[in-house]
Amino acid sequence: MKTDILVVGSGCAGLYCAMHLPTNREILIITKDKEDCSDSFLAQGGICMLKDESDYDSYFNDTMRAGHFENNPESVEIMIRSSKDVVEDLIGYGVDFQRESDGSLCFTREGGHSDKRILFHEDITGKEITGKLLAEAKRHSNIKIAEYCTMLDIISEENVCQGAIVKNKEGEIFPIYAEVTVLACGGIGGLYRHTTNYRHLTGDGVAVALRHGISLEHINYVQIHPTTLYTEHTEEKSFLISESVRGEGAVLYNAKKERFVDELLPRDVLTKKIYEQMENDGAPFVWLSMEHIPREEIMSHFPNIVRHCRKHGYDVLQECIPVVPAQHYFMGGIKVDMHSKTSMERLYAVGETACNGVHGKNRLASNSLLESLVFARRAADKISEKPFGANNAPRKELGAELNAYQNGEALAQQYKKDILDEIERLNKLCMIQSQ
Ligand SMILES: Cc1cc2nc3c(=O)[nH]c(=O)nc-3n(C[C@H](O)[C@H](O)[C@H](O)COP(=O)(O)OP(=O)(O)OC[C@H]3O[C@@H](n4cnc5c(N)ncnc54)[C@H](O)[C@@H]3O)c2cc1C
């Protein structure tokens, strides 16, 4: 099978990239699960935007401070400066952001932000944005989406990517040749016991990069979200209690129902404080109370959280809920340049799979949807400049090699081990360097 451009992943990054590629190119998006089963659909809090020039320095500094100043300032500037265009694009696709009574955009705030600059749609912003992107992508007759089609590996020769080896819904394993391949496979949460991510997001792009010697960056920079609803059932993905709940005034209590921390500290700092408190209390969670948020605000801004907690036996209007930190986001990834190009020819990486240095050591809340979209668009623009053709693309013939991919479980375990071993190695290195 062949296509002009192969996009691996149907989250916001993969979709937005595909939509900005030339309409005369054949684009195939493959996705491991259903087309709408991506973390992009789970995003609750919102998407940042530069409101006006007077907020530029403050937004830039908040992003850098949250990232412990390990961010790439050039990427941060590109992201912030491109935010208005992206939001205009989204509104053009019908994304319905919350508005003030005068019709202007309404902004909220989350931890680490020194001002309100986050656009939202109730507490299901990701679904609103990605649902509209998916609908828009489907209007493009040159874009096809193949569900339950998993990339097992990429095809490469002499550091040139030629496409991917995939397994379809029927279990058939075959190559898809492409002139350009874009990895948009999301994060690595599926490798962890407690995570807010979809379980099928197991860092496959990163594993493949490790296998082929493609440059990676900071893959040990993994963000733990401070507040997810505590449950004893660890096989389920953890339900996020969005940062904007704290941004609107929710407070954290210890076992004695005393406040113990500034709830709007950056995520990594707050997570550390919560773990310390859990240890002091000898408890597997701390409490979160929404008692200071007006009832109407809770109902209109967080209806999904209210519903989910109710389903699990908690009435957030009347009582505290137990919360615990969980793996949430992957700041590191496949190293890319400012156009999302990897160290391999004809291979791009966008979204959470990629690392362009925007987030540094720790992501500022609501910067990831924006970063995914901005740099997916830049990848599409760069790919569009090249006059390749699928028929001209090099093609490595695969025969018996395909048999090596028959045992999917063994491959998944190997990929998991490769990633976790590398993370452990880097963490040890960091510890030695800091001593
Ligand atoms: C609960 C939650 C809340 C969040 N809230 C916010 C928020 O408020 N604001 C914000 O900015 N960010 C938020 N984020 C982060 C943000 O949603 C993600 O970083 C972003 O959506 C990543 O988009 P993506 O397109 O890179 O990946 P995803 O949306 O995760 O998509 C990955 C895609 O890759 C596919 N895939 C993976 N492996 C393979 C494979 N081997 N073969 C084929 N397909 C594959 C998957 O099926 C999926 O389609 C949140 C994340 C979570 C989990």
- What CA–CA distance (Å, rounded) separates 15 from 136? 9
Cβ of residue 181 lying under 6 Å from some atom of ligand 1: no
- Number of domains into which the chain is organized: 2
Q: What pLDDT does residue 107 have? A: 95
What is the distance in A from the centroid of ligand 1 to the CA of 85? 21
For 223, the enclosing helix (H) or strand (E) is strand 222-229
Q: What is the CATH number of the domain that holds 258?
A: 3.90.700.10
* 25 catalytically annotated: no
Ligand 1 atom with the shortest distance to the CA of 204? 41
**Residue 260 and residue 285 share a domain:** yes
Ligand 1 atom with the shortest distance to the CA of 186? 27
**Residue 295 and residue 152 share a domain:** no
Q: Among residues 410, 389, 401, which one has the least CA distance to residue 174?
A: 401
What is the distance in A from the centroid of ligand 1 to the CA of 320? 29
How many other CB atoms are found less than 10 A from the CB of residue 271? Answer: 21
Q: What is the CATH number of the domain that holds 186?
A: 3.50.50.60
Cβ proximity of 320 and 140 under 8 Å: no
Strand runs labelled E in 291-371: 321-330, 333-335, 347-349, 354-355
Computed over its alpha carbons, how large is the radius of gyration of the chain?
21
Q: What is the pLDDT of residues 390-407, one digit of tens each?
A: 556 678 888 778 888 999
User: Which residue's CA is minimally distant from atom 4 of ligand 1?
Assistant: 43
Q: What is the pLDDT of residues 162-187, one digit of tens each?
A: 999 999 999 999 999 999 999 999 99
For residue 187, give its domain range. 2-221+331-430
Query: Probe ligand 1: pick from 173, 334, 368, 371, max atoms within 8 Å of CB?
Result: 368
**Residue 122 and residue 89 share a domain:** yes
Q: What is the pLDDT of residues 67-90, one digit of tens each?
A: 999 999 999 999 999 999 999 999
Q: Which residue has the tokens 């749609």?
A: 121
Ligand 1 atom with the shortest distance to the CA of 149? 43
- What CA–CA distance (Å, rounded) separates 209 from 153? 9
Q: What is the pLDDT of residues 198-237, one digit of tens each?
A: 999 999 999 999 999 999 999 999 999 999 999 887 667 8
**Global pTM value:** 0.92
**Residue 294 and residue 146 share a domain:** no
Q: What is the mean pLDDT of the chain?
A: 94
Any residues with CB less than 8 A from the CB of 151 and at least 6 apart, and which? 8, 30, 32, 164, 165, 166, 183, 185, 204, 205, 208
Q: Which residue has the tokens 């510890």?
A: 431
Q: What pLDDT does residue 202 have? A: 97
> In the chain, what is the straight-line distance between the N-terminal and C-terminal CA atoms, in Å?
53
Supply φ then ψ for residue 361, to 5 degrees: -85, -15
Q: How confident is the model at residue 283 (pLDDT cuts 50, 70, 90)?
A: very high
**Residue 280 and residue 424 share a domain:** no
